């Protein structure tokens, strides 16, 4: 028994500091895959039933709505195109590096971590789709989190609300930088180490600052809802509501940004639980 325990402790140490056992995790992931699929069968079935029993009228209504939405979005996209070229020109004037559009991959949430303390979810894309550890994940409303564990056909995503998670942000209004840390509640994140004199107001939009090289720049992270200046305290207490719908979004986007995101393999474990 002691021998097995010591071996396992050694395995833990190696797995924490190096990535040599990643193939083993991958292989075990293959073994687990059928059992997980069977467990998800009821929810997959209900979803399929819902889709296949939709009436013609429902589908037509949906179609009309989507067409209208598409039109609005296309109109916005047209404006965006001209703005983007203008932006690139301005950047060239400033001789700054040009920002290239991010490539995304659509994925669906398959399960939520049964652990009530950890804010992690499972998604249905994995290593076979090119997902990598540290990859940023968005939903339609803002940044949701990052991939912390990759299996062949599923991955584990740590949400920005997890208490082990922190993300560098910037106030959209004036560019004040801060760090938004999760506190383990889905509807709240907190800015830590904000000086009492920092210009942060209620309603400020926080966007990712791209510092640290993990998250791409400029995606919405949250909206400030509470600023508390305690006289005598070194830091102000600032909390925000996450922009992403952490508890409701079903479809997510995995971002493949140019250059950013890829983290040297030896650093991967530092960010893991």
Partner 1 sequence: MTMQQFILGACAFFVAFMLEHLPLPELLFWLQPQWALLMVTLLVLHAPRAYGLWLAVPAGLMMDTETGNVLGLHVITFTVHIFLVQLFIRRLDGFNLIQQMLMVLILVLAHQLVLFWVSQMLLPFPIPVSIWSPALTSALVWPWAYAITQLTIRRLLS
CB of 187 to partner 1, least distance (A): 13
Of 9 and 202, CB closest to partner 1: 9
CB of 112 to partner 1, least distance (A): 7
Of 173 and 273, CB closest to partner 1: 273
Of 16 and 174, CB closest to partner 1: 16
Q: What are phi and psi of 256, to 5 degrees?
A: -105, 90
CB of 31 to partner 1, least distance (A): 7
Alpha helices (H) in the chain, listed in sequence order: 2-17, 22-52, 56-93, 265-268
Of 154 and 209, CB closest to partner 1: 154
On the 0-12 / 13-18 / 19+ scale of CB atoms within 10 A, 113 is middle
Quote the CA–CA distance of 249 and 145 in Å, as a whole number: 12
Please, are residues 102 and 215 in contact by the beta-carbon 8 Å criterion?
no
Quote the CA–CA distance of 175 and 218 in Å, as a whole number: 11
Please, are residues 122 and 111 in contact by the beta-carbon 8 Å criterion?
yes
CB of 270 to partner 1, least distance (A): 8
Of 24 and 71, CB closest to partner 1: 24
Of 107 and 170, CB closest to partner 1: 107
Tokens of 249: 């979004």
Q: Sign of torsion, CA 44 45 50 53?
A: positive
Q: What are phi and psi of 31, to 5 degrees?
A: -65, -40
Q: What is the CA radius of gyration of the chain?
A: 21
Which residues form the interface with partner 1 (CB under 8 A)? 1, 4-5, 7-13, 15-16, 21, 24-25, 28-29, 31-32, 34-36, 38-40, 43, 111-118, 120, 148-149, 151, 156, 164, 272-273
The SS3 call for residue 125 is coil
CB of 141 to partner 1, least distance (A): 21
Q: Sign of torsion, CA 130 131 136 139?
A: positive
Of 40 and 225, CB closest to partner 1: 40
């Amino acid at each position: 028994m002691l021998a097995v325990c010591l071996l396992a402790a050694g395995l833990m140490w190696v797995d924490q500091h190096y990535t040599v056992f990643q193939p083993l995790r991958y292989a075990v992931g293959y073994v687990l895959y059928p059992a997980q699929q069977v467990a998800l069968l009821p929810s997959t079935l209900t979803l399929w039933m819902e889709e296949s029993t939709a009436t013609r009228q429902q589908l037509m209504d949906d179609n009309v709505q989507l067409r209208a939405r598409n039109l609005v979005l296309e109109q916005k996209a047209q404006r965006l195109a001209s703005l983007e070229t203008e932006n690139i020109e301005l950047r060239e004037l400033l001789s700054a590096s040009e920002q290239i559009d991010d490539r995304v991959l659509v994925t669906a949430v398959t399960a939520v971590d049964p652990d009530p303390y950890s804010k992690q979810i499972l998604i249905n894309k994995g290593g076979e789709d090119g997902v990598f550890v540290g990859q940023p994940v968005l939903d339609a409303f803002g940044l949701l989190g990052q991939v912390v564990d990759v299996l062949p056909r599923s991955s584990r995503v740590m949400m920005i609300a997890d208490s082990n998670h922190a993300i560098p942000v910037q106030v959209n209004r004036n560019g004040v930088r801060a760090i938004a840390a999760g506190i383990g509640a889905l509807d709240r994140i907190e800015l830590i180490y904000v000086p009492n004199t920092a210009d942060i107001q209620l309603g400020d939009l926080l966007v990712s600052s791209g510092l640290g090289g993990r998250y791409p720049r400029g995606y919405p992270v949250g909206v400030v809802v509470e600023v508390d200046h305690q006289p005598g305290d070194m830091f102000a207490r600032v909390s925000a509501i996450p922009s992403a719908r952490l508890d409701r979004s079903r479809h997510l986007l995995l971002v493949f940004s140019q250059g950013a995101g890829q983290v040297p393999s030896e650093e991967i474990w530092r960010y893991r639980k």
